[in-house]
Amino acid sequence: MTATNAVAQSVGSIPQPIRPGHGGTDPGPRNVMRDIQNPDMLVPPATDSGTLPNLRFSFSDAHMRLESGGWTRQVTVRELGISKAMAGVNMRLNRGGVRELHWHKAAEWAYMLYGTARITAVDAQGRNFVDDVSTGDLWYFPSGVPHSIQGLGSDGCEFLLVFDDGEFDEDNTFLISDWFKHTPPEVLGKNFGVPAALFGHTPDPSARYIFAGTVPGPLSSDRIAGAASVTQPFSHRLMAQEPIRTTSGTVRIADTSNFPASTTIAAALVEVVPGGMRELHWHPNADEWQYYIEGEARMGVFGASGQARTFDYRAGDVGYVPFAMGHYVENIGTTPLRFLEMFKSSRYADLSLDTWMALTPPELVEAHLNLDPQVMGALRKKVAPIVPATNPT
């Protein structure tokens, strides 16, 4: 329960939009479960103000496409209007399930949420790439690079895809079967140097988008003999990184400094203990697209000109912070909070309110804010992206 919602929760068993001296009961009709999940929208903090746009959309509210080999759903600018820089896809491949050979106009960044998958790709220099990725691993395919994904293990996989274009639509993917289906057999015959009569049997592309397949053999069996390998791997072991550690959580950052292939998307995996908080900060280089993996979070966003708004998030939700807007993310649950921050940029960058104040002449800061000397003495001069939610007594 959030502090701002304490009064609302005390008015019977159903939360009400009441704050001391403000609001009133809502007799309905209403969606009580939604109100319970979004307490800071039902009873916004008194500091909220203005008309910032919606910065939250749940994959649970997205259309689910069911196929023979798994399922997929997406959150694009169509679902979350503010998200013009990036779009996301949540996909499940059953054991052996194949996301068919394809490519996109947008670059594809991915985080493995569950299980194991085999990914393949070929770059513009004719070099190939094959790898097996597991929970916590990343991959990145540049725009135009053809690739495939297949579920392995006993139960396949689930993953998050992020594209560097909010207008992305997975239904507009370039599919190999779709191209074959719409090319005359005589042209295919001429291209491959075989009789045209050998073509014309391609399955309908809709049946090959995500289809059931046979689990491949060991990784070595899928390596192409004599083929040159890409010089920069398209996969990255994020969980093998030593994280930035604080008393209340960890951060792992992946950008071109440690994942050179990922030239248009930088990311961070943030873990926060109950009561901890991703500090007040902003990003000076790009919008932030978020995906919540587990736990319960509250995010407050400051949009300048007296505008501020607070949102609540749970696993499977997407959050968004427009370029340069100040914000914090607080763990308001009883279990660890884990979420991803993604940016349309080659490098990760953020600025901390705490550090900015600590490295500015104190007299100048004091002239602006009239702060107690104890506050000024507590300012940190070193990066600590996750801080306790409560001040020490």
CA-CA distance, 142 to 134, in Å (whole number)?
20
Tokens encoding 311: 């949102």
CB 164 within 8 A of CB 105: no
Buried/exposed 223-234: b ≥16 CB within 10 Å, e otherwise? eeeeeeeeebeb
- The rounded distance, in Å, linking the Cα atoms of 147 and 102 is 6
The answer to whether 341 is a known catalytic residue is: yes
DSSP 203: P
Tokens of 225: 């003999």
List 158, 279, 341, 366, catalytic entry: 341
Rg of the chain in Å (alpha carbons): 24
Give the DSSP per-residue string, 46-72.
Answer: TT-BS-PPP-EEEGGGSPPEEETTEEE
What amino acid positions are annotated as catalytic residues? 341
